[in-house]
């Protein structure tokens, strides 16, 4: 296990991704843990993340410096390196030149470095050299093993190193930063001023790999098969012969979580799927086929279309729509759950990023922005214990797990779909007729996007029904009908998004098909707004 200490870097999850891509398990923990807690976690290596703070600011994040004496290898990145240097007796200062963006990294021959390092940087160079020569095994420990002597890295820092602690040598430099990488090979302590976890750093992934396998001697044991086996055994142990209730949304997370619980306890998992009438074309049928017919899961499909549509009649305000739908969902879910006797647990598809964001002392505004999308309050109100079997996984791992468990590709690769469904893609009041227009247009759009091979690549692609009518001609007749907007965006996490540059021919085909095949639509427009300033959804 690799422990990643969170000093507040925006790239923490990226570091974790890089470690897990190598089939090594890692955990992100907030700075400030006691030495005992760190020992109890028993990591094979520790990565100290970067962070926005400066080491000499008051209350800058820290961790017990005793970690450097545990004999566990440590890799400090940017702020993490500064922390290590200061904790071990070196000095950090503001640089003459700030460095932000690309830089060319020049790797040093470590033995040349030792004899050439100026006294101001390393006043114990001879001692260090002797220490280095102790064993050949130590000499081969370089994060840069197998790399060219010069390549591009990505920097983002204000502070830089003035003096190194004893035993450290400089292992790489850039034009503006003499001390761009350091190592105390004997004690297996390494520091990188640049960010190996971002794609812009050539060989960054290989550096992390060298740290994991050459330095920490990690074994490749983290894959979805071993995860699934472990999780199934844990769920069995926790639930015993009790029952678990779970709400299904049709999305990847809740489907995979439910499937995992199903593999552990079979029919004692009771899933509830509420048909609120705001679903896309064939959505319920597809879910039924994938989970019930193919995988034999125990699911109650509750038809509440009328209840939701009645409640939404005349509601035009977006927030009122959301609130009303959220309120009704809880009401319906609770009533359905009450019918299941002997349930002690509530299953949920919470993912690792949600957990890290709510735990991180330095987590930016992310958690706040996301919370308004969650339907809150279920567990507390219902007095059930939570089972969240995906809480250690990232989204792409959840997808791999879904495949491992036998979920079909369509479900595994489904684009995100908001809880309030088509209600927030119909501008103005929601009605049966307007839902039907949007459903047909959306289905045609998705069919064409899939056919063009773009479905997986796009974060989301969907149709929006506008609250206006416009004039057209069809054949010899004048028409006065509705307008559909096409929305397609690229994004990594929905916090920001860019409108997708769909090919013109594809747009033409989608537009033609919607106007010809969907009754009541005579105009199609393409949304070219990014987020920010726009949002992905229209309401
Ligand atoms: P926006 O429109 O805020 O959307 O840019 C960001 C992401 O969140 C989804 N979304 C929602 N999901 N309930 C949800 O479960 C909601 O009320 C909601 N509103 C937006 C949206 O589809 C996108 O992926």
pLDDT tens by residue, 28-71: 999 989 999 999 999 999 999 999 888 888 889 999 999 999 99
Q: Name the token pair of 442.
A: 């959306």
Q: Name the token pair of 272.
A: 């509830």
pLDDT for residue 24 is more than 60 = yes
Residue located via tokens 């220490």: 131
Q: Name the token pair of 4.
A: 């990643």
pTM of the model: 0.80
The closest residue, in CA terms, to atom 12 on ligand 1 is 418
The CA radius of gyration of the chain, in Å to the nearest whole number, is 28
Cis peptide bond N-terminal to 187, omega within 30: no
pLDDT tens by residue, 246-297: 999 999 999 999 999 999 999 999 999 999 999 999 999 999 999 988 889 9
Q: How far is the CA of 370 from the centre of ligand 1 (A)?
A: 9
User: Which residues in 25-167 belong to E strands, given as ranges?
Assistant: 26-30, 45-48, 74-77, 91-93, 99-107, 150-157, 160-163
Q: How far is the CA of 536 from the centre of ligand 1 (A)?
A: 7
Q: How far is the CA of 295 from the centre of ligand 1 (A)?
A: 29
Q: From the CB of 416, is ligand 1 less than 6 Å away?
A: yes
pLDDT tens by residue, 306-329: 999 999 999 999 999 999 999 999
Q: Tell me, what's the pLDDT at 60?
A: 92
**Strands 385-387 and 343-347, sheet pairing:** parallel
Q: How far is the CA of 495 from the centre of ligand 1 (A)?
A: 10
Q: In this predicted structure, which of 339-348, 378-387, 467-476 has the lowest mean pLDDT?
A: 378-387
pLDDT band at 73 (very low <50, low <70, confident <90, very high): very high
Distance, in Å, from the CA atom of 533 to the CA atom of 189, rounded to the nearest integer, reads: 44
Distance, in Å, from the CA atom of 506 to the CA atom of 487, rounded to the nearest integer, reads: 13
Q: Tell me, what's the pLDDT at 137?
A: 54
Q: Following CA atoms 59, 60, 61, 65 in sequence, which dihedral angle do they give, to the nearest 10 degrees? A: -90
Q: From the CB of 323, is ligand 1 less than 6 Å away?
A: no
pLDDT tens by residue, 83-138: 999 999 999 987 666 778 899 999 997 655 444 444 545 554 554 555 445 544 55
What is the pLDDT averaged over residues 410-428?
A: 96
DSSP string, 263-286: HHHGGGEEEEEEE-S-PPTTHHHH
Q: Following CA atoms 10, 16, 22, 26 in sequence, which dihedral angle do they give, to the nearest 10 degrees? A: 160
Where do the domains of the chain lie, and which CATH numbers do they carry?
Answer: 2-215 (3.40.50.880), 224-412 (3.40.50.620), 426-526 (3.30.300.10)
Mean pLDDT, the chain, rounded, equals 90
Q: From the CB of 326, is ligand 1 less than 6 Å away?
A: no
Q: From the CB of 375, is ligand 1 less than 6 Å away?
A: no
Bridge partner list, 484: 465, 524
489 C-beta neighbours (distance < 10 Å), count: 22
What is the pLDDT averaged over residues 12-29?
A: 93
Question: Which atom of ligand 1 is closest in space to residue 531's alpha carbon?
Answer: 5
Q: Tell me, what's the pLDDT at 367?
A: 35
pLDDT band at 375 (very low <50, low <70, confident <90, very high): very low
Q: Tell me, what's the pLDDT at 185?
A: 94
């Amino acid at each position: 296990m690799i422990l990643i200490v969170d000093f507040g870097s925006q790239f923490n999850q990226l570091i974790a991704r890089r470690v897990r891509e190598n089939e090594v398990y890692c955990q992100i923990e907030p700075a400030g843990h006691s030495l005992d807690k760190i020992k109890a976690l028993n990591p094979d290596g520790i990565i100290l993340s970067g962070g926005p703070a400066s080491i000499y600011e008051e209350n800058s994040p820290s961790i017990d410096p005793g970690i450097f004496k545990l004999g566990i290898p440590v890799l400090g990145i940017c702020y993490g390196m500064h922390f290590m240097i200061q904790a071990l007796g070196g000095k950090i200062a503001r640089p003459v030149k700030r460095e932000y963006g690309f830089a060319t990294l020049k790797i040093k021959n470590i033995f040349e470095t030792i004899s050439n390092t100026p006294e101001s940087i390393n006043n114990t160079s001879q001692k260090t050299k002797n220490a280095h020569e102790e064993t050949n095994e130590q000499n081969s420990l370089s994060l840069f093993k197998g790399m060219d002597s010069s390549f591009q890295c990505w920097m983002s820092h204000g502070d830089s190193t003035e003096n190194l602690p004893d035993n450290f040598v400089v292992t790489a430099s850039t034009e503006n930063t003499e001390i761009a990488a350091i190592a105390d090979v004997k004690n297996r302590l390494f520091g990188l001023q640049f960010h190996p976890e971002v794609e812009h750093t050539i060989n960054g992934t290989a550096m992390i790999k060298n740290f994991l396998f050459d330095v920490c001697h990690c074994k490749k044991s983290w894959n979805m098969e071993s995860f699934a086996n472990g999780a199934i055994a844990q769920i069995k142990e926790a639930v015993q012969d009790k029952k678990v209730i779970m709400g299904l949304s049709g999305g990847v997370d809740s489907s995979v979580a439910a499937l995992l619980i199903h593999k552990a306890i079979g029919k004692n998992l009771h899933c509830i799927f509420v048909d609120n009438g705001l679903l896309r074309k064939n959505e319920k049928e597809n879910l039924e086929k994938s989970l019930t017919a193919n995988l034999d899961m125990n699911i109650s499909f509750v038809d509440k279309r009328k209840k939701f549509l009645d409640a939404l009649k005349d509601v035009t305000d977006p927030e009122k729509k959301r609130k009303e739908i959220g309120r009704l969902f809880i009401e319906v879910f609770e009533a359905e759950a009450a019918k299941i006797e002997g349930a002690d647990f509530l299953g949920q598809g919470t993912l690792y990023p949600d957990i890290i964001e709510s735990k991180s002392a330095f987590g930016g505004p992310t958690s706040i922005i996301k919370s308004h999308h969650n339907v809150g309050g279920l567990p507390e109100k219902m007095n059930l214990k939570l089972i969240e079997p995906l809480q250690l996984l990232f989204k792409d791992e959840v997808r791999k797990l879904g495949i491992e468990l036998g979920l079909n590709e369509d479900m595994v690769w489904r684009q995100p779909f908001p809880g309030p469904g088509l209600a927030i893609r119909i501008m103005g009041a929601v009605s049966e007729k307007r839902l039907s227009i949007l459903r047909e247009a959306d289905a045609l759009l998705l069919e064409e996007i899939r056919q063009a091979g773009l479905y997986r690549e796009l974060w989301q692609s969907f149709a929006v029904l506008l609250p206006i009518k416009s004039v057209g001609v069809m054949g010899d007749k004048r028409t006065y009908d509705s307008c559909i907007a096409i929305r397609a965006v690229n994004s990594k996490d929905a916090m920001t998004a860019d409108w997708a540059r769909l090919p013109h021919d594809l747009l033409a085909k989608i537009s033609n098909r919607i106007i010809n095949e969907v009754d009541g639509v005579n105009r199609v427009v393409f949304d070219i707004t990014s987020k920010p300033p726009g949002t992905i959804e229209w309401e």
